[in-house]
A and B are shown apart, each in its own frame.
Chain A
Amino acid sequence: MNPALSDSLSALPILLPLAGALTCILLPPRHRAAAGLLTSALTLLSASALTWMLLTTGISSQNLGGWPPPLGIQLRFDGLACVFLLLTSLVGLPVGLHAAALFRSQPGDDRASSPPLFWPLWLFLWAALNGIFISHDLFNLYVLLEIMGLAAVSLAILSGRPAALLAGLRYFLAALVGSMLYLLGVALVYGAAGSLDLGLLGEALPAGAISVRVAFALIITGLLIKTAVFPLHFWLPEAHSAAPAPVSAILSALVIKASFYVFLRLWVDVFDGSVTFAAGQAVGALGAVAVVWGSYQALRQSRLKRMVAHSTVGQVGYMFLLFPLITLDPAAAAAAHGPPTWLGHAWTGGIYQALSHGFAKAAMFLAVGIFILAVGNDEKRSVTNMVGRLPMTTFAFALAGISLIGLPPSGGFVAKWMLLKATFSSQQWWWAPMIVWGSFLTAGYVFMILRLAFAPAAEAPKKNLRPVPRILEFTALALGVGAILIGLRASEVMLLLDVGAPFAEPVQPLTEPPGGADD
């Protein structure tokens, strides 16, 4: 391919939503949905083009403005960036369709029911997310994380209700403290290495220096706050459940994935000399407690959206079980012959958890949003006999639940199976009971809803449902099917993920029998 063409292509996933956001501000509110959806489709197209480029020509990088690092900012596109870019587009398009249909169907013209700022803010957020996935510069990541935070909080308070405003300010202050810890770490890193480019830093960072260790701890803590890892998750349940349903889907499915992505990239690419076995175990322990605590809290909630928001805290925990499994005890690593086989499993498992949770949680928030829209309240009991009244949405909820629990053949199954395999072959067996326990608790809250949904009509309150536009149900179902499909098409996703991966997973179809070790 022509190098000039590929260069201009790699900035498109950032430029398109940014241009779309600015266009939407200029347009009158009634035309914004159309412009926003067109931008979403074009962004998906550009992400697909980049994916095709990655598979044909491999990793590409572009120096913005022609300035090479260390002075300039580099955009870099590898397998990891690619799968997250695709996730954002594939979740963002249906959620956008859902939002457009939802806001159009709302009666009245007040700001709470059809917020005119949804499209500009969501496209700004999308540009920041794509920028985070592609950019290869520590300080540029800071700026993009701040843009993401500003846009995400603005979306979370769209309804303008006092509860949402309070939750939004709490979310914003937590995100700002996280950013400041991150920025202090960036300053220390620059002081130690004199560079901000992730690639150069990986080589130049003095491994044992005290300032680098402090910087590592600050950056890691800042990103843990932004990703809402236990015990720094205090802001998430309220903020995610007070937002309109499509916004909750975006916040839970995509926004926390971006800070996880930065965490992951810095852990393996930049601080690979500073991470220790103990640090890996500590992060894993936070993740394991989050799995159990978040899932248990979800089980206890009596309100639907609170339940789904707490479930995010639990599912985020699984993603952080990746870190103890890829961070080896130096003594054990020296004794081993060649690179251990489980590194690839752990790597794939953790990332698969992020991807499948993206689809599943978006589907679940949209499904729950439809229940609430139809019944008019947020109580768990109100889903009684839903299977007879909104079968498609109940099915979407069930598909999402299957993936969150980790039942085959969903994406969540691949994730939890890979993580379990890695815990046993690395002999860090103590993570396994947490994975299984979390799945049981998840099964608890998913089946509690499904049991109510299948309850006979006699128990149901005699009340007519408000009509729900079909497109709302279709988009929720599409995302639920997506959570299953990435489990069925795992080998294709792994093929993408392997381009430039630090821990290669030999690409093969999932041949292990799905019985026994699954939870």
Chain B
Amino acid sequence: MPPEPWQLYALTAGLLFSISLAGVFLCRHFFRKIIAVNLMGASVFLLLVSIGRRDHEAFADPVPHAMVITGLVVAVSASAFALALARRIHRETGRDNFSESE
């Protein structure tokens, strides 16, 4: 039995989540870490949207979509804050990662 489209999307979301979770820990640069966290969020949103379409009804389930919209707002503000913080650290200390010797 071939997988249904929403299952493919859900699997992609799972794969993307694993890659970005590894990215948070493996990347050293602040900016890459922040992007990786963003990607984690994007993969969860992809999963939510695919869950919303699984019932083959005329209309998608609106609740996951509401969650995605709310999640996007949270993700935008969190990324903005993290980026501002990373810039401030770079301006004050010249550092762009955690592991540099002090």
Contact = CB atoms under 8 A, between A and B. Distances in A.
Interface of A: 71, 139, 142-143, 146, 149-150, 153-154, 157, 162, 165-166, 168-170, 172-173, 176-177, 180, 183-184, 186-188, 190-191, 196
B71 A173 contact: no
Looking at chain B's contact residues, is the secondary structure mostly helix, strand, loop, or mixed? helix
A196 B17 CA distance: 22
Contacts, number: 83
B44 A172 contact: no
Contact of B70 (A143, A169, A180, A188): A143
Contacts of A196: 63
B10 to A, nearest CB: 8
Given A146-B74, A170-B98, A191-B51, A165 B88 contact: yes
Contacts of A166: 89, 93, 95, 98
B34 to A, nearest CB: 8
A143 B47 contact: no
A190 B37 contact: no
A162 B89 contact: yes
B5 to A, nearest CB: 15
A154 B88 CA distance: 13
A168 B41 contact: no
A188 B98 CA distance: 33
Given A173-B33, A177-B24, A187 B85 contact: no
Contacts of A162: 89, 92-93
B82 interface: yes
A162 B40 CA distance: 28
Given A143-B70, A180-B40, A172 B82 contact: yes
Contacts of B95: 166
Contacts of B67: 139, 186-187, 190
Contacts of A157: 85
Contact of B81 (A153, A165, A188): A153
B21 interface: yes
A32 B17 CA distance: 43
B63 A183 contact: no
Given A153-B81, A187-B51, A139 B70 contact: yes
17 contacts: A139-B67, A146-B78, A165-B89, A165-B92, A166-B93, A169-B30, A169-B86, A170-B98, A173-B33, A177-B37, A180-B17, A180-B41, A183-B44, A187-B47, A187-B48, A187-B67, A190-B64
A71 B61 CA distance: 12
Q: Which of B21, B34, B63 has the most CB of A within 10 A?
A: B63
B21 A177 contact: yes
Nearest to A182: B44
A143 B74 contact: yes
A301 B6 CA distance: 53
Nearest to B93: A162
B19 to A, nearest CB: 13
Interface string B29-55: 010011001001101100110010010
B101 interface: no
Q: Which of B33, B54, B67, B98 has the most CB of A within 10 A?
A: B67
Contact of B82 (A139, A173, A180, A183): A173
Contacts of B30: 169
Contacts of B88: 165
Contacts of A176: 37, 78, 82
Nearest to B61: A194
Nearest to B48: A187
A116 B28 CA distance: 33
A169 B89 contact: yes
Contacts of A150: 77-78, 81
Nearest to B86: A169
Contacts of A139: 67, 70
A165 B92 CA distance: 10
B85 A165 contact: yes
Nearest to A214: B14
Given A162-B93, A187-B47, 17 more contacts: A166-B89, A169-B82, A169-B85, A172-B82, A173-B33, A173-B34, A173-B37, A176-B78, A180-B21, A180-B40, A180-B44, A183-B41, A183-B44, A184-B40, A190-B63, A190-B64, A191-B47
A173 B79 CA distance: 10
A150 B70 CA distance: 16
A187 B95 CA distance: 36
B39 to A, nearest CB: 9
Contacts of B74: 142-143, 146
A188 B89 CA distance: 37
Nearest to B90: A165
